[in-house]
Amino acid sequence: MKIGLDVGSTTIKSVVLNDDNQIVFKSYERHYSQITEKITELLTKIRDEVVHGEDALLTISGSAGMGISETCDLPFVQEVYATRIATGRLLPQTDCIIELGGEDAKILFLTGGLEVRMNGTCAGGTGAFIDQMATLLNVSLEEMDSLSEHYEKIYTIASRCGVFAKSDIQPLLNQGARKSDLAASIFAAVANQTIAGLAQGRPITGNVLYLGGPLTFLKGLRRAFDMALKTKGTCPENSLYFVALGAAYSSEIEIDLDTALKNISTYGVTGNFRSIDPLFNSKEEYRAFVERHSKSKVPRGNLQTYQGPFYLGVDSGSTTIKAVVMGNSGQILDSFYRGNTGNPVPIMRDYLLQLYQKRPDISFTAAAVTGYGEDLLKNAFNIDYGVVETIAHFTAAKRFMPNVDFVIDIGGQDMKCFKVHNGAIDNIFLNEACSSGCGSFLQTFANTLGYKIEDFAKLGLFAKHPVDLGSRCTVFMNSQVKQAQKDGATTEDISAGLSVSVVKNALYKVIRVSSAKELGKNIVVQGGTFLNDAVLRVFEKEMNVNVIRPDISGLMGAYGAAVYAMNKALHKETGTSTLISREELETFKHEVKVTNCGMCSNNCRLTINIFDNGRRFIGGNRCERPVTKRSGTGAEYDLYTYKLQKLQSYTPVPAGKRGKIGIPMCLNMYEMLPFWYTFFSMLGFEVVTSPLSNRELYLEGQSTIPSDTVCFPAKLSHGHILRLLDEGVDTIFYPCLSYNFDENRSDNHYNCPVVAYYPEVIAANMHQLKGKKFIHDYVGIHRPHDFPKKMLKILNYHFHNQPFTLKEVKIAANAAYQSYNDYMTDVRKKGGEIVKRARLEHKPIIVLSGRPYHLDPEVNHGIDKLITSLGAAVISEDVVAACEHMEPVKVLNQWTYHARLYSAAEYVATQPDMNLVQLVSFGCGLDAITTDEVRRILEENGKIYTQIKIDEITNLGAVKIRLRSLFAALEQ
């Protein structure tokens, strides 16, 4: 008989075939990292019950099978080839295979030769990712699948990072989003991540086969792939066993199972794993450590006997909800800390009712709330104040160390680190692309290994050989942990190693420090993760500095909110909080409705929370229109809105004598449109532009994107090209522009390589352009004298049946240059008007700087509207960079847009009412040096600088924290 074993990252699959290649035995089970034991148990069963002690042909495959094969001298076949062998025998007409496993994802293209795409350093979007999301929703995988059938709305969820996706889901849960919508959104995110991340521009067509556990067991996931691919894939019989079947089909060597079992039983215990020094060398050293940190205690009081004003602080975080009842001397009278189970409202109601039961006469003077669920709880319970998280934590930290100059808070899924200068928050660091160093990171591994997080954390304190795991993706690190287990690492070693990974990720991925001096001398650490003594010890050892850890490390947000409420109450006339009464709590009701706004083209999907007495909280809105009912909210102070409306005024002139020509609204076209629109209109074309970007447009083009790491604005280009084609535009103009206009502010005036040459990528990777006229020639707009001659050659080459003359091209070119200049002059004039109006009304002015494509609403995610909603005016960098009295900045620089940014920073440094927020797109490598220089220019002149990174999935919760922290710092 032929035996095939597929030893995967989370499961073991086996099949046994008889002489007729019929399956006589099969099994599928999770190994929970006990790989050696499970294989031994499985082969013993096969030996005794299936082959009855006879020799058999055996082959091993799978991501965890190679080490066993090499060590135990057993035949091995790579899992991709095993899959291909099984597919060739069973379903030879297959064109493409999509396979999802526990930690790996693969796309196999079979047509025209085998081509394989696999995930590399990230395991987001795999089975383990889906497991984590089900846990977050507090449902089983079966319930999650069932829920997804009844969805109404697909939300944008990040699937790149298993932990970081929670930062998208948690606020939606806090806002009352339906679990059915979230389940379907998670499946859609997995499908989109797999297609965009692995297909990388190669079309997935023909007969598509779905393999692997997640696609076998989850109908909703298969439905998501069908929708994304616009096809109907097949999940065949025995889809779980294709790798095992391929291994069995390729078995040719007889194996003595008794010898194999003996070899396997000794596999793995080598002790050869990378380790680091112990955290503590003795129990005496640990006792001294504990004694030092036990001194940072907050005073306590008795809730029953206390007489005086009461203050309430609430921290509704990403995974937990915390509350503190405080007296007038800062003493804690009562507190609680628990998981929020996706909806903090009923938990907060129960806690308040318990308080009234403990102390019926309690009456709060003031209350404040912070965290992800701030707005929801503030509206639900009439809480007096909402405070941004950074300010709440800073306020708490000052109670323990008045001269604190650095605060680091590591929570369940996010990190907040900020520097303090002259008593105000000066610089903020937030995890924006990965959460592998947060509390959930440790929680996940503790649960995987069968421990409570408190017990798991203590195990590592006296580990003799902590495992050196580095700092990697939360899901993907499972493989390293399992390998260390196989090599003899104890649970204690793994616990200590994971604590080291948490700290290294925070320091070197989020804060990116090079030395302890960068952090300052007076450091306060907080957040539930720092209650872990191992994490705290590693932090102090890594940075060679002693820090303060308050005894309420996990309650610091709530405590800071309570202190904030007390400080606010001291400056108001009335001494009573607006917090709802006990009677209102007993009859409290909470209803959730979902609808579409429809007040603008964004068509936001709103989650409406309705409470007693008509109180409402609306989530999901990009602007304040659903709340205020006013269509012009903040627009008069927003240059981004004005520029976008200006570009939308360039509408097609019908019946052009030379036909239609399409211009995709992407990358530099957000500034070049006036030029090209005028040029082609003057030549008799009907100029058609693609619509504004949205999520649907991005998803339409994602299967043609060849690079997962290119910036988001470039990825959107594919969708814009497809939209033009969908509208029947057969001629598209998208030129390569090595140079931009020379604005005489830099050593040269290049476009960045992506902006300059992305049309080449479009032409090479979009098969939809076959048979169409795609004009992507190299053009030099920076040379007005040569431009007409160059364009004449290009036009007559592509339109040889309708030849152009040099005269008409020159006329069109002159009009185009004039149109561009008029547009830039108008924008700068409008920017000046906004500045003048803001100064008359004493509004702060934010220079929201970036690239022309940051005008795209899908790229900027409505950040301009967030800023105006906070009471500021927004202008762009091109307005202030052009101020005549500014000298060119003395920085070696070759790039037009970077030169604007330098000049804008230099100008902002001279204006007392201006500050700068920089938008940076992930994947734009040129930004790093520029950002450092801009930060230097601003900070040397006492300015507060904030950078926001933009991606297709941007954590808007983190963006709001940054912006609100910026404004709080300005107030300070």
In this prediction, residue 557 has a pLDDT band, given cuts at 50, 70 and 90, of very high
Partnered with residue 425 across adjacent β-strands are 420
For residue 960, the model assigns a pLDDT of: 77
- Report the DSSP pairing between strands 845-849 and 914-921: parallel
CA 34 to CA 7: how far, in whole Å?
Answer: 11
Side chain identity at 498, as an amino acid letter? L
Confidence check: pLDDT of 970 > 80: no
Burial class, 590, CB count within 10 angstroms (exposed 0-12 / middle 13-18 / buried 19+) = middle
Residues 121, 564: Cα–Cα separation, whole Å: 43
Q: How far apart are CA 225 and CA 223, in angstroms?
A: 5
pLDDT digits 0-9 by tens, 403-439: 998 999 887 666 778 888 777 777 777 765 555 556 6
> Using CA atoms, how far apart are residues 136 and 119, in angstroms rounded to an integer?
24
Helix pair angle (374-381, 344-358), 10° resolution = 50
Amino acid 967: pLDDT: 82
pLDDT confidence bin for 103, thresholds 50/70/90: confident
Across residues 654-678, what is the average pLDDT?
90
- Using an 8 Å Cβ cutoff, are 228 and 221 in contact? no
pLDDT of 807 over the 90 cut: yes
Longest distance between any two alpha carbons in the chain, whole Å = 95
- Using the predicted structure, report yes or no on whether residue 247 has a pLDDT greater than 90: yes
Q: Is the pLDDT of residue 322 over 60?
A: yes
Residues 934-963 have a mean pLDDT of 76
List all residues 6 or more positions away from 864 whose beta carbon is below 8 Å from its beta carbon.
638, 640, 641, 848, 874
Q: Best-predicted range by mean pLDDT among 54-58, 651-655, 789-793? A: 789-793
Burial of 148 (C-beta count, 10 Å sphere; 0-12/13-18/19+)? buried
Please compute the mean of the pLDDT values over residues 466-471 and round it to a whole number.
Answer: 77
Q: Please state, for a pLDDT cut of 70, what percent of the chain lies above it.
A: 87
User: ∠444-448-452 over CA atoms, to 5°?
Assistant: 75
Tell me the residue type at 776. H
State pLDDT tens for residues 564-620: 999 988 877 567 888 988 888 888 888 777 677 766 666 676 777 788 766 777 776
Average pLDDT value for residue range 333-348: 84
Average pLDDT over residues 69-78: 84
Residues in the chain: 972
Q: pLDDT at position 252, please? A: 87
What gap in Å lies between CA 411 and CA 319, rounded to an integer? 9
**Per-residue pLDDT, 423:** 78
CA 322, CA 565: separation in Å to the nearest integer?
Answer: 15
* Confidence band of 290 (pLDDT split at 50, 70, 90): very high
Best-predicted range by mean pLDDT among 171-185, 508-522, 702-716, 949-963? 702-716
Q: Decide if pLDDT at 143 tops 80.
A: yes
Across 452-460, average pLDDT: 84
User: Given pLDDT bands bounded at 50, 70 and 90, which one contains residue 914?
Assistant: very high
Residues 6+ apart with CB under 8 A from 291: none
Q: Is the dihedral of CA 94, 98, 104, 110 positive or negative?
A: positive
Of the candidate ranges 408-422, 717-731, 841-855, the one whose mean pLDDT is the lowest? 408-422
pLDDT at 696: 86
pLDDT at 410 (0 to 100): 82
Give 803's contacts (C-beta < 8 A, 6+ positions apart).
796
CB neighbours (10 Å) of residue 936? 13
- Are 659 and 686 a contacting pair, CB within 8 Å? yes
Average pLDDT, the chain: 85
pTM given for the model: 0.75
Among 127-141, 670-684, 804-818, 830-844, the range scoring the smallest mean pLDDT is 127-141
pLDDT at position 11 over 60: yes
28 token code pair: 């599928």
Give all domains of the chain, ordered by start, each with its CATH number: 2-91+246-265 (3.30.420.40), 97-235 (3.30.420.40), 310-396+558-586 (3.30.420.40), 415-547 (3.30.420.40), 640-820 (no CATH), 824-971 (3.40.50)
Paired tokens of 633 = 């909210």
Do the Cβ atoms of 653 and 686 come closer than 8 Å? Answer: yes
pLDDT attached to residue 291: 93
Is the separation of the CB atoms in 967 and 917 below 8 Å?
A: no
Instruction: Give me the pLDDT at residue 276, please.
Output: 83
Query: What average pLDDT does the segment 502-522 reach?
Result: 76
- What integer pLDDT is reported at residue 628 of this predicted model? 56
Is the pLDDT at 506 greater than 80? The verdict is: no
Q: Which range, 270-279, 402-411, 825-834, has the best average confidence (pLDDT)?
A: 825-834
**CA nearest neighbour of 863 among 779, 957, 943:** 957
Per-residue confidence (pLDDT) for residue 448, from 0 to 100: 67
